[in-house]
Structures are given as C-alpha cells and as structure tokens.
Structure 1
C-alpha cells in the first residue's frame, strides 16, 4: 500500500515563508517515528509541542472516568496535532495512538512564536487553519448526531473514503486498517451492532473487505434509505 509523505512546503500553513525562515524551521524540527499501537501523547498530558503528521495515521482516543473509550477522529498526513499549544499551556483532551507506522515532525511553541514575530501573516494562517478544523468537527458532529447506527456507520465510511480513499473504476478502497471495535468506538456504538450493519452492507453490495481494508462500492442507486 502506497503511503503519502508530506513535505512542509506543500502545506498551506507554511506557504509564503521566506526561504531562510523555512530553512530555520526545518533545522530546528525534531522528527519522530512511531510503530502501530504506540502513543504520541496521552490524555491529560500538558501540551507543549505541536506535531505535524508527515506519513501514517493516528487515532485520537478519549477515555471516560468509567474506562469507556471513544475514538474522536483519525488523523493523517498534513494534519496538525497538539494545536492547543497555540492558545495556552493546558492538558490534552485525548490520547494520540499510531494506527500504523507514523512519521511526525515536532515543533515547540516557541518556534511558532518566533515565526509570528518575523511574519505576522503567519498568525492569520494559523487562525484560519484552526477555524477550519473546528468548523469541520462541528459539521461532522451535527450531521451524525441522532442518526441510527447503520446511517452513522455509512456516513463514517463516506468520510473515511473522502480522506483516505483510493479511487477504482467501480469502488473506493479506504487506505486505513481499522477494526470493527474501532468503527464502533468512532460512532458510539457496540461491536455487535457494527458487525450486523457490516453484514447488511455486504449483502447490499455497499461495503466489502479486501485483506484488512474496507472497500466502498460506487453505486449511484444505493442510498442509506435502503436500511430505514
């Protein structure tokens, strides 16, 4: 499976930086590799580092007091984590766990503050990035709240296909190894209900499996209303 590796210069966040600014940023950047299952940071840890995902994917997991885990999101190449550091020192609200081998660039808050002092327009790009991220999170929550399990699961597959899909003539392979329990944790359901929904999706030729990857079939006649 081909994995995308992001160069910092490809990101809108860093567009417009002078060559010497960009060079200084790269020279001060620490790089980190994580294997599947390893933590980038834990829920409750103080935020002091900003992370840019160059390749691979991580899941953001929030653990309640009773031990129940909820997967808030899956993050891939080009996304920024630890952005709470932009505001103030505070604790992370979730844990970030590698779903596969991950390559990450690590920045200190001071590095970003230095860039802002040199180039005030950089602050506007940061604000724009965080605003868009918050808007997308609110939009996702609004669309899926209150829906039946099957519809929430199908909406999740569409979203993952948009983010990590590899287009084929009649289908889209979702380049993400994700378990049935992780799917359940992402939509706030049980594994049993997810398994039942997957069986119905497969019978209706909507979802299939290829090795450890899900495949979303391209059928313009198929609708979530099939399961009402």
Structure 2
C-alpha cells in the first residue's frame, strides 16, 4: 500500500518514524484499515484479544482501572504509534489498559501472528519496536522520579511540556495539544490530588502560561513553561 496522504513525516520517535521506507511500507501492508469516532474504545482492559493497532492518524488516551476502582491516565498515543503491542507479543496476559479515541482516527488492525512474523523476518522493525517500548519505560520512570523530586506545579509543567513536544501543533506563538485532558486524568498522571491540579491550573492560567479550551490545552508560552518544568531547551 502507499503511505496515507499527509503522513510522509511521522513523529521521529514513533514506530513508523523510526523505520526506513521499505520496512515502513511492509508494516503498513499488514492488517486492515479501520476508522474510529471520538470516544470510541479501541482496546479494553481485561480482554484477551491479541491484535495490535497501528495508528495512522489521530490521538488516543491509555487509561487503566486499579483494584480500588480508581482510574489512571497512563499515556497518550498518536499517529505513527502502536497500541496493544504487549498482548500481541507475549500472548499470555489480558489487556492491561483501555485505549480510547480522543477524536476521529484511522488505524490498521494487525493480528498478533502477522506482527510476530514480521518481527522475525525484519530485525529493523523488531529493534524499532524495542526502542519504542524503552522510551515508554523511560516516560514511566520519569513520572515516578518526578513524584519524589518536584512539587505538583512543576510535575504538571513537565508533563505538559513533554506532551507539547511530542503531540503539540504550533499555531503562531502558541502550541495546541489537541487532547481533552480532564483534571482527574491530569491528577493521576502527575500523582496529585484533583484539588491540587485545579489550583495549579488556575495559577498557570493567571501566569499566562496556558489556556484550557474545549478538547484542547493551549501552551501560550512554551519557553517559560519549560523553564518552570526544569526541562532542557527543545
């Protein structure tokens, strides 16, 4: 198949962005293309299905429910990324999270056997997927370290700064993160109480660092936000 129109430049750290053109075309030839509407559930926690979804466009949220019933936002995934690859690779445990569409999106449904066969014959794809998983582990480790090393305001700024770098769309002097992140989701993502997140967001808006809109967060001054977040210059 030809690559989807308008996606010749996938995010550099996504799976598709790491691959050479021949390997990327071979991966894109797998499976069947499907479309999802806003808020559609792509994968559901606890299910035993084994396929993987290769995201071609759009954004998703990855959430999990723990034993006490609390819901946690674990990650965001965008075009070029995969979701569900762990179940497809190990084939022995139920889905560990639910994946929901943040807006209309397109993906390819790839069966686990087809993915494993490609990984065996294409070491480049196998290595790229390993690097993607390593990046996700680093993200999780940074969040754990942030819990101990930074106050809530800095933790939130760090998460928003990283989301802006990975998924933000520059519009003039602003960067728009086209993901509806609720205050409870932000609270679980940074390990803070919802009331604390409410207070921090109010402070960031007052300082004109960000603005919250319907289904989007707008970073009004990314340089100052990254400085607050103690992040290296982009």
TM bucket, shorter chain: 0.7 to 0.9
Is residue 178–residue 215 contact of structure 2 (8 Å, CA) maintained in 1? Answer: no
Task: Indicate the RMSD between aligned Cα atoms, in angstroms.
Answer: 3.0
Partner of 2:206: 203
Q: Say if 2:87 is the partner of 1:100.
A: no
Who wins on radius of gyration, i.e. which is larger? 1
Distance 1:67 1:174, change over 3 A: same
Partner of 1:35: 37
Partner of 2:168: 165
Is residue 32–residue 106 contact of structure 1 (8 Å, CA) maintained in 2? Answer: yes
Distance 1:125 1:149, change over 3 A: closer
May I ask how many residue pairs the two structures share in their alignment? 219
Partner of 1:125: 128
Measure how far apart 1:98 and its partner are.
Answer: 1.5
Unpaired segments of 5 or more residues in structure 2? 230-234
Q: Which of 36, 44, 47 is 1:45 aligned to?
A: 47
Mapped to 2, the partners of 1:36 and 1:76 lie a distance apart of 14
Partner of 2:138: 135
Is residue 64–residue 71 contact of structure 2 (8 Å, CA) maintained in 1? Answer: yes
Distance 1:18 1:153, change over 3 A: closer
Unpaired segments of 5 or more residues in structure 1? none
Mapping of residues 173-188 of structure 1, within 5 Å = 173-188=176-191
Measure how far apart 1:161 and its partner are.
Answer: 0.9
Q: Say if 2:30 is the partner of 1:59.
A: no
Mapping of residues 10-21 of structure 1, within 5 Å = 11-12=16-17, 14-15=19-20, 17=22
Q: Could you state the TM-score of these two structures normalised by the residue count of structure 1?
A: 0.80
Distance 1:8 1:199, change over 3 A: closer
